[in-house]
């Protein structure tokens, strides 16, 4: 016996969905190709995004390194004479070049100086009196030579006493600020003993190491930006004033120095600063934000905005990138001038989605905004 087939039973919850699928199928079957495309476009999701229109611009390629600040004039001033400290500058005092930092008790030294000065005058007068007598052969040459030797010896002793008297006043070799004091009033010091540390921060320098692979590109005169990670969060502009010719075998870097004025003394010795050193500059380059770039095993892509029927749709476009600097990347293939690409809203975007463009600007304007956000600038 042949059994009658059982009728198909459709679950109640799937009936509305099946009806919608059948309706779309009937509509597509009865439409032309253009009408079918129109229905598909209407069915595409609408996604809110921001876009940029590509315009060629300059592109500066930077490398990022860290450097250490040091004062150009930083010295420990020591005593050159023996004595007891009568007066010394306080820590934090500003001392100009040639002004006294400390004063020794010079009473003994001054008395020795006065005695040496008197002896020299006596020896000089004796020598002058004997000079005409020797010329008239009244005294022997030996007596005259002895008088001259005594005069020269007295002069040397006077110079020595004068130097000791000068050394009793310890003077600043350059203008600066007393940062450390190693002795106090009343202490007895001897030659070579440290007295104060004097530092001048009106002009300073940054020391950094450049990887050896950039030795042919980063040299003296290369533009550099110095970012201060302090309360001001500012960035200074300068140039490399010295580039070494020797590679450090341990770090494989060569030393560079950046000197610059520090009138407000915002930069302090031993600070660690971030440096952006310009490697090279490209002209008429296509620059886009790094956030617009999608990288996968299939390659590098962006979403282009393609117009169709008065609306814009997302199209996944393969590109080739070049140099990268901070938040910006150079595009060397796949895009051209006046192309429009999506830069925000990518996480919810698929190929073929309709675009609700909330904002559009040129790539030049966007690059300037990203650069300023990446490096706030204060000019001196």
Residue 243 to residue 221: CA distance in whole angstroms? 9
pLDDT at 14 over 90: no
pLDDT at 256 over 60: yes
The pair of three-digit structure tokens given for residue 216, joined into one six-digit string: 């042919």
CATH code of 347's domain? 2.40.420.20
pLDDT for 179 equals 94
pLDDT for 373 equals 62
Domain annotation covers residue 369: yes
Task: Give one word for 3, left, alpha or beta, with left for phi > 0 and alpha for psi -120 to 50.
Answer: beta
Domain annotation covers residue 191: no
Pick the range with the lowest mean pLDDT from 107-116, 279-288, 304-313. Answer: 279-288
Residue 284 to residue 55: CA distance in whole angstroms? 8
Q: Are strands 194-211 and 169-171 parallel, antiparallel or unpaired?
A: unpaired
Q: What angle do CA 210, 213, 217 make, to 5 degrees?
A: 75
The answer to whether residues 272 and 338 belong to one domain is: no
pLDDT for 43 equals 54
Domain count for the chain: 3
Residue 197 to residue 179: CA distance in whole angstroms? 6
pLDDT tens across 330-343, in order? 899 999 999 999 99
Alpha-helical (H) ranges within the chain are 15-29, 33-43, 107-135, 141-167, 363-374
pLDDT at 2 over 50: no
Do 150 and 168 meet the contact criterion of CB atoms below 8 Å apart? no
pLDDT for 195 equals 95
282, 298, 325 - which closes a domain: 282
pLDDT at 366 over 60: yes
Helix (H, G, I), strand (E, B) or coil at 87: strand
pLDDT tens across 101-137, in order? 999 998 888 899 999 999 999 999 998 998 888 888 8
pLDDT at 320 over 60: yes
Residue 218 to residue 276: CA distance in whole angstroms? 12
Domain annotation covers residue 95: no
The answer to whether residues 268 and 339 belong to one domain is: no
Domain annotation covers residue 91: no
DSSP H or E stretch at residue 305: strand 299-308
Task: Please tell me which residue, 201 or 29, carries the higher pLDDT value.
Answer: 201
Domain annotation covers residue 346: yes
pLDDT tens across 77-96, in order? 999 988 899 999 999 999 99
Do 331 and 22 meet the contact criterion of CB atoms below 8 Å apart? no
pLDDT for 340 equals 93
Q: Is residue 22 very low, low, confident or very high in pLDDT (cuts 50, 70, 90)?
A: very low
Q: Could you tell me the residue range of the domain that residue 130 belongs to?
A: 106-167
Nearest to 75 by CA among 232, 188, 200: 200
Q: Are strands 169-171 and 272-289 parallel, antiparallel or unpaired?
A: unpaired
Per-residue pLDDT averaged across 134-156, rounded?
A: 89
pLDDT at 235 over 70: yes
Nearest to 304 by CA among 354, 340, 269: 340
Per-residue pLDDT averaged across 186-211, rounded?
A: 94
pLDDT for 51 equals 93
Per-residue pLDDT averaged across 241-253, rounded?
A: 93
pLDDT for 322 equals 86
pLDDT for 144 equals 86
Domain annotation covers residue 100: no
The answer to whether residues 162 and 225 belong to one domain is: no
pTM score of the predicted model? 0.61
CA distances from 90 to 177, 191, 202, 269 (A): 10, 21, 20, 20
The answer to whether residues 140 and 287 belong to one domain is: no
Domain annotation covers residue 152: yes
CA distances from 35 to 45, 113, 298 (A): 18, 114, 33
CATH code of 235's domain? 2.40.30.170
Length of the chain: 380
């Amino acid at each position: 016996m042949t059994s009658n087939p059982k009728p198909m039973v459709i679950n109640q919850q799937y009936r509305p969905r099946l009806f919608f699928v059948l309706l779309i199928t009937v509509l597509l079957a009865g439409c032309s190709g253009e009408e079918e495309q129109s229905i598909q476009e209407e069915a595409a999701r609408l996604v809110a995004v921001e876009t940029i229109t590509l315009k060629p611009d300059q592109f500066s390629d930077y490398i990022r390194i860290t450097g250490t600040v040091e004062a150009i004039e930083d010295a420990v001033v020591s005593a050159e004479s023996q004595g007891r400290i009568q007066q010394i500058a306080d820590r934090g005092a500003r001392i100009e070049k040639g002004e006294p930092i400390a004063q020794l008790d010079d009473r003994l030294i001054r008395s020795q100086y006065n005695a040496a000065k008197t002896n020299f005058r006596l020896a000089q007068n004796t020598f002058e009196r004997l000079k005409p007598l020797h010329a008239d052969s009244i005294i022997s040459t030996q007596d005259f030579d002895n008088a001259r030797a005594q005069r020269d010896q007295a002069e040397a002793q006077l110079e020595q006493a004068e130097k000791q008297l000068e050394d009793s006043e310890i003077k600043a070799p350059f203008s600066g600020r007393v940062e450390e004091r190693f002795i106090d009033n009343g202490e007895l010091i001897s030659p070579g003993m440290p007295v104060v540390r004097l530092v001048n921060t009106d002009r300073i320098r940054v020391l950094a190491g450049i990887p050896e692979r950039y030795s042919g590109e980063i040299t003296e005169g290369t533009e550099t930006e110095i970012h201060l990670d302090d309360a001001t969060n500012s960035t200074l502009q300068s140039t490399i004033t010295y580039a070494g010719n020797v590679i450090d075998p341990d770090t494989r870097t060569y030393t560079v120095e950046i000197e610059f004025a520090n009138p407000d003394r915002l930069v302090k010795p031993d600070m660690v600063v971030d440096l952006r050193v310009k490697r090279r500059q490209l002209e008429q380059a296509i620059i886009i934000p790094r956030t617009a770039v999608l990288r996968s095993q299939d390659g590098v892509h962006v979403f282009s905005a393609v117009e169709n029927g008065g609306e814009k749709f997302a199209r996944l476009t393969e590109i080739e990138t070049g140099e990268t600097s901070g938040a910006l990347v150079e595009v060397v293939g796949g895009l051209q001038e006046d192309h429009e690409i999506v830069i925000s809203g990518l996480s919810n975007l698929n190929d073929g989605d309709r675009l609700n463009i909330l904002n559009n600007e040129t790539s030049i304007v966007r690059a300037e905004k990203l650069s300023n956000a990446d490096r706030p600038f204060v000019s001196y």
